[in-house]
Amino acid sequence: MLMLIFLLVVVIVLVVRKFYLKKLKSGRNVCVLVLGDIGRSPRMQYHAISLAREGFIVDLIGYPGSPPMKEILENMHVQIHYLRPPPELQNKLPRLLCYIVKVIWQTADLLWSLFNKHISDSLIMQNPPAIPTIPVCWFYCILIEARFIIDWHNYAHSLMALSLGKNHFLVRLAKSIETTFGYRANNNLCVTQAMKEDLEKKWFIQAKVLYDRPIDNFHPLTLVEKNEFLCKLAEKYDIKISCSPRTSGFIVSSTSWTEDEDFSILLNALQEYEDTCESNESNLPDLICVITGKGPLKDFYMAIINLKKWKHVEIKMPWLENEDYQKILATADLGICLHTSSSGLDLPMKIVDMFGCCLPVCAFNFNCLSELVRHNENSLVFADEKELAEQLKMWFQDFPDNKTQQQLREKFQGNMFTSQQNHNDWHSNWTFNVLPCL
C-alpha cells in the first residue's frame, strides 16, 4: 500500500514537472555560465552577444570583477547574474579543507543562481573549471530537460596538474569528471583542431571547433591615433616613448603571471639585447618593454627586474584600463607571447587580440601553436631565449627606417587570419557551428 502511494506521488510529481516545464519554457532562453570573472571571459561574452543577436534571451552567470563589454551591459536581452565569491579562508584552514568549503559554497551558489532565473532551454558552460561546474550544470540540465553544451577552453585536470602534480587525487577527480560528463553533454565546442582530435581519440567526445576571434575593439590605429596614445602613455602611465621621430623600439606582452609562462626567457633575451647595444656592434634602438597584467608571480619577477641596471632596455608593468590595453597593442612594434598551454591544446587569446590589432608577435612554440601562428608567414616563433634575442635584434635592426623589416611586417599582417575560418568573423562561424545545436 505504502509502495503504491509512493509510486503515485512519483508519477504525479513527474507529470506536474512535465506540465510546468512545458508551460514555462519559451524555447528561446539560453544560459551562459562561467565560473570566473565575466569581464575577463571574452569568449563567453561573445556567446552571449551572438545569442542575443539571434533573438535568444540570455542569462549570463559568473563572478563580478572587471566590467563586462558594453554590448553586454547595454543589451536588453542579456541579463547578468553574479555569483558570490567564496569566503577567503586561505590561511585559516588547511588547504584541502579550504578547497572543500569552496566547492560546497560554489555548488550551493551555482544551484541558487541556476534556479533563480528564466528556465533555460539550453546551457552553455565554460570548462575549466570542471569542479563543481560540470556536475552541477549536468544535474540542472537533466532536471529541467535543457540541452547541455560544454565549451572546452582547456582541460581542468591539466591546469590543476600544474600546481598539484599529475597524480594528485583532485587532478584525477577532475579528469574523471571531465570524461564522464563530457561524454554526456549534448554538444561540445572546443578551441582548436588539436583539442577536437584529442577529445575524440581519448574520450570519444565529438566536439566542434570554434576559433577565438578578437572583438571589434581590437583593431589597428592610424598614425595620428598612435601618436595621441603615446602622449597619453607618457602622461597617465609614465611610459615615455618619443613619437616623432620614433627613436626607441616598443614591445608589449600581457600575462596573468602564472606558472605556465616563464618570463625568465624574455628577461634573458632582453639581457642579451642590452649586451649587444652596449657592445655597439649593431645599430639597435633602445627598447621599452611593457608587460601588463596581474597575478601571483608578479612580485617575484618584479624583484628580479628591479635588480637589472640596464641602460638600453626599460621594463614597465602598468595595470592598463581595457580601452588602453587595445590601444597599446595597436601602437607597439612587436608583441611577445610566452604562453605554453598546460594541455598543449589551447591557443593564447592574447595573440588573437594582437592579431586583431595587426601586431606581429614573437611566440613561444608549443604543440598546436601552428593553428594560429606560422613562423615567417604571419609572425615569428621561438623555442628558447637565444632565438627570441635573435628575433628582437632582427626586428629592430636599423629601426625605424628599415625597408626590409617594413616589408616583412606587411607580409605578416596580410597573413594573420588566413589559416583560420577563411576570413569569417566570430558571429558567422558561431552561426555555422553553435546555432544548429540550440
Instruction: Show the site string, 137-176: x = touches ligand NAG by CB under 6 A, - = not.
Output: ----------------------------------------
Q: CB of 407: closest distance to ligand NAG in angstroms? A: 9
Q: Please select the residue that binds ligand NAG; options are 11, 67, 432, 435, rule is CB under 6 A.
A: 432
| Residues that contact ligand NAG, how many (by CB under 6 A) | 18
Those residues with Cβ within 8 angstroms of residue 239's Cβ, 6 or more apart along the chain or in another chain: 233, 288, 290, 316, 318
**From CA 17, how far away is CA 30, in angstroms rounded?**
20
Those residues with Cβ within 8 angstroms of residue 122's Cβ, 6 or more apart along the chain or in another chain: 29, 30, 31, 146, 147, 148, 149, 437, 438
Per CB under 6 A, which of residues 368..397 are in contact with ligand NAG? 394, 397
Q: Which is nearer to ligand NAG, 365 or 421 (CB)?
A: 421
Instruction: Show the site string, 327-366: x = touches ligand NAG by CB under 6 A, - = not.
Output: ----------------------------------------
Q: Which is nearer to ligand NAG, 190 or 315 (CB)?
A: 190
Q: Which is nearer to ligand NAG, 254 or 391 (CB)?
A: 391
Q: Does 402 bind ligand NAG (CB under 6 A)?
A: yes
State the angle between helix axes of 42-53 and 426-433 in degrees (0 to 180), rounded to the nearest 10.
70
Q: CB of 398: closest distance to ligand NAG in angstroms? A: 4
Q: Please select the residue that binds ligand NAG; options are 52, 83, 144, 209, rule is CB under 6 A.
A: 209
Q: Does 437 bind ligand NAG (CB under 6 A)?
A: no
Q: CB of 249: closest distance to ligand NAG in angstroms? A: 12
Amino acid residing at 223: L
121-129, 182-190, 409-417, 426-434 -> range binding ligand NAG (CB under 6 A): 426-434
The owner of cell 590561511 is 91
Per CB under 6 A, which of residues 269..298 are in contact with ligand NAG? 280, 283
Q: Give yes or no for a contact between 417 and 388, defined as CB atoms under 8 angstroms apart.
A: no
Q: How many CA atoms lie within 13 A of 321 on its CB side?
A: 7
Please, which residues bridge with residue 334 across strands?
251
5-13, 181-189, 285-293, 420-428 -> range binding ligand NAG (CB under 6 A): 420-428
Q: Which is nearer to ligand NAG, 113 or 248 (CB)?
A: 248
Distances (CA, A) of 427 to 75, 216, 421: 16, 11, 11
Torsion from C-alpha of 71, 72, 75, 78, nearest 10 degrees: 150
Torsion from C-alpha of 92, 97, 103, 107, nearest 10 degrees: -90
Distances (CA, A) of 394 to 168, 250, 273, 369: 44, 14, 11, 22
Q: Does 405 bind ligand NAG (CB under 6 A)?
A: yes
CA angle 137, 141, 143 (to 5 degrees): 115
Applying CB under 6 A, the residues found at the interface with ligand NAG are: 209-211, 280, 283, 394, 397-398, 402, 404-405, 408, 421, 424, 428-429, 432-433
